């Protein structure tokens, strides 16, 4: 499962050898579609707010695409309404390229809690493409003091490192989605050391700070706050492409907005993100796979 191991093995197949999993202590799991509670059949007498109003705080000059990919990830995973807040200087290019179904709003460089309207919102995603030039640590502190679930991705993790102890005071559910370099920065441990014991470091952080950790890699690991670890069973190397993580963050937020527990949303988001990538790779190969390929393939796997 770890590091170069998958390059030396064939396909991993999970089989039942007749041992009741409840009869032995076990904290490691290999995610199968049957383990997930999402998606569920929709009731007929519903409206868009029943499926989540998601706030996305994303984008900056030169990285406007990150927010757009996150929006599409949230919408295509079933989010009822997505509102994306972007800096004023990229408002026009984002509006020109964003899905027509999304609401695009702006905030200035001195963003405050009053700039973001949370009425009827279900979940907040912050981080894709926000950059490191401006200070977002204080808005993170504000979000962590609130009651809405928060998904923190990409540069949001960079800013979280400044106020990481705020996680211990937070009462709201939180999921962070770092790759190994971002996780190294967050916990101030060399990447090489984490690679030697990713389970130990991921598990320790999730328990100590009571947050769900999605540690991204070929076999992405999702760490729960009680110590359990779920290895993802989907995905392929073609997904190692720019924007793939932005789509995943949007999917997790979009799923969580549908009244889905944040830990469950993280596992489901990771699984179906990888399954969409596998669908594309099986039909067209890995080399041409892009973030948009994942988005477009969701309609074939999220049924």
Helix H or strand E encompassing 21: none
Return the residue matching tokens 């009651």: 147
- Considering the chain, what is the average pLDDT of its residues? 94
pLDDT of residue 78 exceeding 90: yes
pLDDT band at 115 (very low <50, low <70, confident <90, very high): low
How many C-beta atoms surround the C-beta of residue 49 within 10 A? 13
pLDDT band at 26 (very low <50, low <70, confident <90, very high): confident
- CB-neighbour burial class of residue 46 (10 A; exposed 0-12, middle 13-18, buried 19+): exposed
What pLDDT, on the 0 to 100 scale, is given for residue 167? 97
Helices (runs of H) and strands (runs of E) counted in the chain: 11, 10
**Residue 158: strand, helix, or coil:** helix
* Among 9-18, 27-36, 213-222, the least confident range: 9-18
pLDDT of residue 110 exceeding 80: no
pLDDT of residue 36 exceeding 60: yes
pTM for the whole structure: 0.96
- Give the model confidence (pLDDT) of 59-70 as tens digits: 999 999 999 999
Within a 13 Å sphere around the CA of 194, how many CA atoms are in the beta-carbon half? 22
- Give the model confidence (pLDDT) of 213-246 as tens digits: 999 999 999 999 999 999 999 999 999 999 999 9
pLDDT of residue 114 exceeding 60: no
- Give the model confidence (pLDDT) of 239-262 as tens digits: 999 999 999 999 999 999 999 999
Return the residue matching tokens 């197949």: 13
State which CATH number among 3.40.1190.20, 3.30.360.10, 3.40.50.10800, 3.90.550.10 fits the domain covering 47-301: 3.40.1190.20
Distance between CA atoms of 119 and 108, rounded to whole angstroms?
A: 20
Within a 13 Å sphere around the CA of 100, how many CA atoms are in the beta-carbon half? 0
Contact call for residues 173 and 192 (beta carbons, < 8 A)? no
pLDDT of residue 11 exceeding 90: no
pLDDT band at 14 (very low <50, low <70, confident <90, very high): confident
User: How many whole angstroms from its chain centre is CA 170?
Assistant: 19
pLDDT band at 107 (very low <50, low <70, confident <90, very high): confident
- Give the model confidence (pLDDT) of 154-196 as tens digits: 999 999 999 999 999 999 999 999 999 999 999 999 999 999 9
Contact call for residues 251 and 74 (beta carbons, < 8 A)? yes
What pLDDT, on the 0 to 100 scale, is given for residue 108? 67
Distance between CA atoms of 102 and 116, rounded to whole angstroms?
A: 16
* Overall average pLDDT of the 99-105 stretch: 96
pLDDT of residue 111 exceeding 60: no
What pLDDT, on the 0 to 100 scale, is given for residue 109? 53
Tell me the C-alpha to C-alpha distance, in Å, between residue 12 and each of 43, 58, 248.
36, 36, 23
């Amino acid at each position: 499962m770890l590091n170069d191991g998958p390059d030396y093995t064939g396909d991993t197949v999970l089989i039942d050898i007749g041992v009741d999993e409840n009869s032995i202590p076990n904290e490691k799991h290999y995610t199968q579609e049957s383990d997930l509670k999402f998606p569920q059949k929709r009731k007929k007498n519903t409206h868009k707010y029943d499926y989540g109003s998601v706030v996305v705080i994303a984008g900056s000059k030169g990285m406007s695409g990150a927010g757009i990919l996150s929006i599409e990830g949230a919408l295509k995973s079933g989010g009822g309404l997505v509102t994306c807040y972007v800096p004023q200087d990229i408002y026009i290019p984002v509006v020109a390229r964003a899905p027509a179904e999304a609401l695009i709003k702006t905030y200035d460089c001195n963003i405050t809690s009053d700039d973001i309207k949370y009425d009827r919102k279900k979940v907040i995603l912050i981080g894709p493409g926000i950059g490191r030039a401006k200070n977002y640590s204080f808005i993170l502190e504000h979000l962590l003091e609130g009651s809405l679930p928060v998904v923190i991705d990409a540069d949001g993790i960079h800013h979280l490192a400044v106020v990481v102890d705020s996680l211990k005071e937070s009462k709201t559910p939180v999921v962070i989605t770092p790759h190994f370099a971002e996780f190294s920065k967050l916990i101030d441990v060399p990447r090489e050391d984490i690679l030697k014991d990713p389970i130990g470091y991921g598990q320790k952080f999730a328990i100590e700070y009571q947050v769900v950790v999605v540690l991204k890699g070929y076999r992405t690991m999702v760490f729960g706050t009680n110590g359990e670890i779920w290895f993802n069973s989907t995905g392929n190397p073609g997904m190692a492409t720019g924007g793939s993580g932005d789509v995943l963050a949007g999917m997790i937020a979009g799923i969580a907005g549908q009244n889905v527990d944040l830990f469950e949303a993280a596992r489901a988001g990771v699984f179906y993100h990888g399954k969409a990538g596998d669908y594309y790779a099986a039909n067209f190969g890995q080399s041409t796979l892009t973030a948009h390929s994942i988005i477009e393939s969701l309609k074939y796997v999220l049924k």
